[in-house]
Amino acid sequence: VREHIEAWSDVPKYVQLAAILRAQIERGELSPGMPLPSAPHLMATYEVSRGTVRKALEILRNEGLIETFRQIGSRVKPDA
Amino acid sequence: VREHIEAWSDVPKYVQLAAILRAQIERGELSPGMPLPSAPHLMATYEVSRGTVRKALEILRNEGLIETFRQIGSRVKPDA
DNA sequence: GTACATTTGTTCGTATGTATA
DNA sequence: GTATACATACGAACAAATGTA
């Protein structure tokens, strides 16, 4: 809500959201094993759509930083 | 049960379902204090998904027409 | 007191349509 | 024409709470 992401031509919202979450992981605000906020929660927090959240999480998954499970959600990989 | 809701570009299903239920309340077919049909029942009756039912009920909740309780279901507000 | 079924709450996966840059 | 972004709508599965047998 307070962290509204601005639509910006050069950097897509989903890339920005991925960067925000990646920074939180690297700063330890989200520690290994910790669950990430759910997609609906991220949607509300950053005022973006479901698709944008999914794309952001997909980036972090591809980077090996998080893992996602059905009906469970995403968490920081234990070895991240 | 004959009240199949058609997908129509201008009016989303969940808005139509909310309108149907709102009309029933205003006509007194659902009187104050009366329980609404459960979500599974509404799904079967109108042939829509759970998410659509939930969105429709959310609209009526925000309008103050109904209230919802876990394992109890929704009912028309006593003062509606 | 316990087991079971029902109902809502919540989550992720997926697909489609629309609008815009 | 492609990429971005949103809204709608479906399905599936789990948790939590309540009522009932």
> Which among B13, B23, B36, B25 has a CA at the least distance from the CA of B80?
B25
| Reported confidence tier of residue A10, pLDDT bands at 50, 70, 90 | confident
At residue A69, the 3 state secondary structure works out as: strand
CA B75, C1' D17: Å apart? 17
Q: What would the pLDDT profile of A29-63 be if each residue is shown by its tens digit?
A: 999 999 999 999 999 999 999 999 999 999 999 99
- A69 strand C contact, CB < 7 Å: yes
- A73 strand C contact, CB < 7 Å: yes
Please enumerate in sequence order all residues whose Cβ is within 8 A of that of B49, keeping only pairs 6 or more positions apart, or say none: B43
| Reported confidence tier of residue A80, pLDDT bands at 50, 70, 90 | confident
Residues 15-34 of A with CB under 7 A from strand C: none
- A39 strand C contact, CB < 7 Å: yes
> Which among A48, A32, A35 has a CA at the least distance from the CA of A75?
A35
- A9 strand D contact, CB < 7 Å: no
Q: What would the pLDDT profile of B38-77 be if each residue is shown by its tens digit?
A: 999 999 999 999 999 999 999 999 999 999 999 899 999 9
**Residue A57 in contact with residue A74, Cβ under 8 Å?**
yes
CA A79, C1' D7: Å apart? 37
Please tell me the pTM assigned to this model: 0.87
Q: What percent of chain B has pLDDT over 70?
A: 91
> Which among A34, A48, A44, A36 has a CA at the least distance from the CA of A6?
A48
- A74 strand C contact, CB < 7 Å: yes
